[in-house]
Amino acid sequence: MSLVREISALWGEYLNDGAVEADDNFFELGGNSLIGIKIIERVAGEYGVDLSVRAFYLAQTPARVAELIEQARAGV
């Protein structure tokens, strides 16, 4: 499974009854600060990457969050 799909599935656990696509907007799906923090914590635990709240909120989509994870893993 691609990283984008994994992140979409992760978001789906918290948003929109599991139906989250790569380019869906976090806030348009009903995301809020509490859900954002939970997702950020899961990303840290499952992928070993610490995303800032700001970076997560600016990314807004699973595809962009996956890019942030890949960049962090690559040391960018």
Average pLDDT over residues 50-69: 96
Which pLDDT tens digit goes with each residue over 4-25? 999 999 999 999 777 899 999 9
What was the pLDDT predicted at 2? 96
**pTM listed for this prediction:** 0.92
Query: With 80 as the cut, is the pLDDT of residue 76 above it?
Result: no
Burial zone of 43 (CB within 10 Å; 0-12 exposed, 13-18 middle, 19+ buried): buried
Which pLDDT tens digit goes with each residue over 32-50? 999 999 999 999 999 999 9
